[in-house]
Structures are given as structure tokens and as C-alpha cells.
A and B are shown apart, each in its own frame.
Chain A
Amino acid sequence: DAKTTQPTSMDCAEGRAANLPCNHSTISGNEYVYWYRQIHSQGPQYIIHGLKNNETNEMASLIITEDRKSSTLILPHATLRDTAVYYCIVRVAGDYKLSFGAGTTVTVRA
């Protein structure tokens, strides 16, 4: 019952911006877009979330299209430590559950 579609994998160069796309064409008005990542042998790590507006924090920026049917996570200056599986998740406001899909395996290369 995946609500999001992400590319299986992508490479990016160290020091460059990494742009990770996510499609969520059936998103509802009360659903947020969350991004998590999982570095090898660690637990998932929260990155950022948003509803309608673009968001930025110390880790990344989240750009949500006006129709909210897709979003892009931007890692402004990718480092080797950003190599991980990145999960885009749609979550209803007030829902305790996070439903993880397959995510995008991002490999940052020197």
C-alpha cells in the first residue's frame, strides 16, 4: 500500500547537491511528507517533514510542489557520510504509524 514512489538508487558526487525526488500523487490534504534515512547498520534517522510549504533545517531542504503531488529532498553539500537509504513517507496528521517503502539508495562518491 505504498503511497510514495522513489527511484531505486542514485549516485551523487561529494560536495555537490543531491536532489532526491519523491512522487505522492494521491496525497490528501491532511497528509504530511516525511523524510528519513538509514545509514548502514543504524536505525532510521529523521531528516525533515512538511505539509505545503518548503522547509529547511540544518540537514536538508524539502521542496513540495504546489499541487503537493511530488517533493524533492535536497542535501546541499553531500558528503560520504550521507550515503544511506532515504525514505519518503506520507503520513496522516495525528497518525502514530510510519509506513516505510523501499526508499532510494543514495551513494555519495568521492
Chain B
Amino acid sequence: DTAVSQTPKYLVTQMGNDKSIKCEQNLGHDTMYWYKQDSKKFLKIMFSYNNKELIINETVPNRFSPKSPDKAHLNLHINSLELGDSAVYFCASAGGGGNQPQHFGDGTRLSIL
């Protein structure tokens, strides 16, 4: 029973397509995150939701739209995919406000052809 699970694990698609990545956590946490890890291996936060409300949006292009249907899910939809979107996307969750450690999923490897 994985704590933070992402689907799909791998996603290969063509430039210009629209795709979604799903994330679910079974830890009962209130806060969920999306991070991007590029080819240089730097991890950067993209979005954070707390109780289904957006609290962090780190100047991400508006082609990226997170959606949180409930506290346990935070999905990431990407429109008009570009070559530069190729990366590993990690979902994370945390409880108890900003002081609690974040728990990460194993990532979705997105490759744009």
C-alpha cells in the first residue's frame, strides 16, 4: 500500500499533445505538491495545494494546470506539450502544515518526442 502513488510511471508522447498525471496519497495529509526534476537533476517546486486550495504557484507556464478533486488527490494536466517539458515529475504530500516532512511518490518520467 504505497503512501504516495503516481500514474503513469512512464509517459512518452509527442510535442503538442495534452496529457495528465495523477497522484493519490493515502496518508490523510492536507497538503500536496508537484515538483519537476529536469535533466540536470535539480528538483523545483511547481505547485502546492492545502485542503484543495492552491497555495504555491512557482511561475509555472499556464499550460500546466493542477487540479485537486479532494484532499487525497492532486492531478497535473499539461496542454500543448513542449520538448522542454521532458522531465521527471514528483508528487508529494505532507501533514500538519508547513513543518511536517514531505512524502514523495516515485515520479512520472515524461518524454516528449
Contacts and interface: CB of A to CB of B under 8 A. Distances in A.
Contacts of A49: 101
A102 B42 contact: yes
Interface string A90-103: 01111111111010
A93 to B, nearest CB: 6
> Binding site of A, secondary structure by majority: helix, strand, loop or mixed?
loop
B92 A43 contact: yes
Interface of A: 32, 34, 38, 41-46, 49, 85, 91-100, 102
Nearest to B103: A46
Interface of B: 4, 31, 33, 41-45, 48, 50, 55-56, 90, 92, 94, 97-99, 101-107
Given A41-B107, A96-B94, 4 more contacts: A43-B92, A85-B41, A94-B98, A97-B45
Contacts of A45: 104
B90 to A, nearest CB: 5
